[in-house]
Amino acid sequence: MATGAEAAPLAAVPCSYYFGAGPAVLPPEVIAEIRAELPAFRGSGVSILELGHRSPEFRTVMRETEGDLRELMAIPPDYAVLCMQGGATLQFAMAPLNLGDHGAYLVTGQWSAKAWREAERVADAQAVWDGTADGYTRVPERHEWRVPHAAGYLHYTVNETIAGVEFHAAPASAGVPLAADMTSMILSRPVKVSEHALIYASAQKNLGIAGITVVILNPAALRTPPRGTPSLLDYRVSLEAESLPHTPPVFAWYVLGKMLKWTRSQGGVGAMAARNQRKAELLYAVLDASDFYLNAVDKSSRSWMNVPFRLHDQKLEALFLQEAAATGLKNLAGHRSSGGMRASIYNAMPEAGVATLAEFMRDFARRYG
Ligand code: PMP
C-alpha cells in the first residue's frame, strides 16, 4: 500500500490529451483552420456545410485530396482511389462481393473476426488462421497458414484497434490478391500499396472524422459482383461516377483533405512512422518495466497505434482511470468488450501527450505498486 505522502497524484496538467480510439483526436491546427474557414468556403459564398458536391470548389477539394493521398502513400498510377460511405464495416461485405468468392481470412482480433463473419453472410469465406482461442495476442508466422488455390483473396486487418495486434509486414498471399483493412493505421507508417489488390480505411482515426471511407484498389482485381448486388456495393459504379454515385459527405471529405495536408506538413508518412515508433516505445517501456502493468501482446506484434493494458491488480483500474482523467489524460478506458485500459496514440497525438501519460503511469505505479 502507498503511504499518505506518496499517494498525492501528479498535479493536473494545463492541457488535456484525448486517447479515444475513434472518433479520435484531431490536430489543433486542423480544428483551427476548419473554424476559420467555416463561415465562407474559399470564396464560394457559402460554408462548407452548404457547399454543393458538384461545385467547382468541391471538385478542387476532391482533386487535391486524391493527389495528396497518392503522393503520401505512393499509390501506383493504375490504382484507383475512391471515397465512400458506410465505414469499414460496409467494406467487410464489399470485399467478398467484388473480389470473388472463397475469401481467406487471417483472424488476429475482433475486427478481422467481424470482417470474416460479414463475408460469410454474402459469400463463402474461411479463416485460414484464427487467434481467437489465444485471446488475440499475436499475428501468425508465415508457416502457420496456407492460402487455398481457389481463394478469391486473402484478407487481413493490419492493425487490430481493440486487441492492439499489428502486422509489421504484409502477409505472404501466394499470388492471391491481398485485401487489407487499414482503418486504424493508415498513414502511420509506409505500406507497399502495390502488394495489395484492395485497401480500405474509415476516416475517424488518422484521416479525420467518421462518415467517409477511403478505398484504394487495383481495378484489374475486380470481379463482377453477384446478381442482386445493390449498385452502391459495386466498386465499378463508384469508379465510373468518380466517387460521386450519390451525394457524398462533403464536410468529412473536406476534413480528410485537411488531414492529408497536415500529414504532409509534418513530413509525410516516413516522419509519422519515426514519431509513432518513438511514442509506442515510450509506453511499452513503462509496461515492461515492472509487473504492475500487463500487456498480453507478443512483442513482435505490438501495435504502434493502440496500446491496450491492464493493471496487475484490477481493483486499481477504476482509480487509474479516474486519476488519469483528473490529470488531463482522457478516454483511456479499454474497449467495452475487453475492459482494462487502452491508449490510442494516432498520428495526431503529440509526443508530449504520450510522455505525459508515461510519466503518469510511472508515478501511479510508484504510489500503488
Ligand atoms: N476495422 C477496424 C480496424 C476498426 O478499428 C474499425 C472501427 N473502430 C472498423 C473496422 C469499423 O469501422 P466503421 O465503424 O467505420 O465501420
CA 33, distance to chain mean position in Å, is 23
Query: Which cell goes with 111?
Result: 475486427
| 93 CA distance to ligand 1 middle (Å) | 13
Q: Which residues are catalytic?
A: 111, 181, 205
Please report the pLDDT score of residue 2 as a whole number: 38
Are both 273 and 218 inside the same structural domain? no
Pocket test for ligand 1, best of 110, 159, 184 (most atoms within 8 A of CB): 184
Residue-range definition of the domain harbouring residue 173: 30-265
The angle that helices 268-289 and 351-368 make with each other, rounded to 10 degrees, is 0
Summarised one tens digit per residue, pLDDT across range 92-117 is: 999 999 998 899 999 999 999 999 99
Nearest ligand 1 atom to alpha carbon 92: 10
Nearest-atom index, ligand 1, CA of 160: 3
Q: 36 and 113: one domain? A: yes
Q: Are residues 254 and 276 part of one domain?
A: no
Which sign, positive or negative, has the C-alpha torsion 181, 277, 211, 196? negative
Give the C-alpha distances (Å, rounded to integers) separating 161 from 189, 284, 348, 351. Answer: 16, 16, 16, 20
The residue whose C-alpha atom lies closest to atom 9 belonging to ligand 1 is 88
Last residue of a domain, one of 241, 265, 289: 265
Q: Are residues 274 and 193 in the same domain?
A: no
Query: Using a 6 Å CB cutoff, which residues line ligand 1?
Result: 22, 87-89, 111, 157, 161, 181, 183-184, 202
> Do residues 68 and 178 share a domain?
yes
One domain, residues 76 and 214: yes
Instruction: Determine the 3-state secondary structure of 365 from DSSP.
Output: helix
Which DSSP category does 302 fall into? B
Does 123 reside within a domain? yes
275 and 225 in a single domain? The answer is no
Find out whether 181 and 305 touch, Cβ atoms under 8 Å. Answer: no
Kindly state whether residue 11 falls inside one of the protein's structural domains.
Answer: no
* Domain presence at residue 2: no
- Among candidates 244, 239, 249, 179, which has minimal Cα distance to 213? 249
Q: What is the mean pLDDT of residues 185-197?
A: 98
Determine the Cα–Cα distance for residues 188 and 271; give it in Å rounded to an integer: 9
3-state secondary structure of 341: strand
Mutate to test the pocket of ligand 1, among 105, 156, 162, 183 (most ligand atoms within 8 A of CB): 183
Q: Which atom of ligand 1 is nearest the CA belonging to 21?
A: 8
Q: For 2, list phi and psi in degrees, rounded to 5.
A: -80, 150
Tell me, in angstroms, the distance from the centre of ligand 1 to residue 162's CA.
Answer: 10
Cell of 90: 460496409
Place 169 in a pLDDT band, splitting at 50, 70 and 90.
very high
State the DSSP code for 38. Answer: T
User: Separation of 305 CA from ligand 1 center, angstroms?
Assistant: 14
**DSSP run (H or E) holding 36:** helix 28-37
Provide the CATH number for the domain around residue 43. Answer: 3.40.640.10
Whether residues 171 and 294 fall in one domain: no
Residue 147 lies in a domain: yes
The number of domains in the chain is: 2
Domain end marker among 228, 248, 265: 265
25-69: pLDDT as tens digits: 999 999 999 999 999 999 889 999 999 999 999 999 999 999 999
Asked if 170 and 191 touch (Cβ cutoff 8 Å), the reply is yes
**Confidence band, pLDDT 50/70/90 cuts, at residue 4:** very low
Interatomic CA distance for residues 128 and 118, integer angstroms: 16
Residues 93 and 179 in one domain: yes
Instruction: Give the CATH number of the domain where residue 287 resides.
Output: 3.90.1150.10
Taking each helix axis from N to C terminus, what angle separates 351-368 and 317-326, rounded to the nearest 10 degrees? 130
Q: Is the pLDDT of residue 185 over 60?
A: yes
Asked if residue 246 and residue 113 are part of one domain, the reply reads: yes
Residue 122 belongs to some domain of the structure: yes
151 and 296, same domain (yes or no): no
